[in-house]
Amino acid sequence: MPAFGEDDPGRSYRRGYQDGAVETFRAIERFLDVATREVVRTWIEQDVNDWRLKATLSHPPIWRLNKLNAPNSNCDIRANFPP
């Protein structure tokens, strides 16, 4: 039985998704430029956290991450990794 309130598979999935995103970010943040790092950090802290707590969407919002690959964006995540 969960310690705090009711727990269901959806909540567990969202909590695990957020934990995985945080751990992945910690592993790669030193390889990212400052602008990309801030976009990803904000995505996790705001978008993923809101998605986890409110559960209004079936998947986390990615509009903020889509800005990373925008043609006029200053932060291109692909530029930091060799082909």
Spacing of C-alpha 82 from chain mean position: 22
Position 4 in a domain: no
Position 23 in a domain: yes
Q: How far is CA 34 from CA 18, 65, 78, in A?
A: 21, 14, 14
Q: How many CB atoms neighbour CB 40 within 10 A?
A: 21
Is there a contact between 80 and 31 (Cβ–Cβ < 8 Å)? yes
Number of domains comprising the chain:
1
Position 3 in a domain: no
| pLDDT tens series, the chain, 83 aa | 455 556 688 888 899 999 999 999 999 999 999 999 999 999 999 999 888 888 777 888 888 888 887 765 555 555 555 55
Position 50 in a domain: yes
Structural domain for 51, as ranges: 9-80
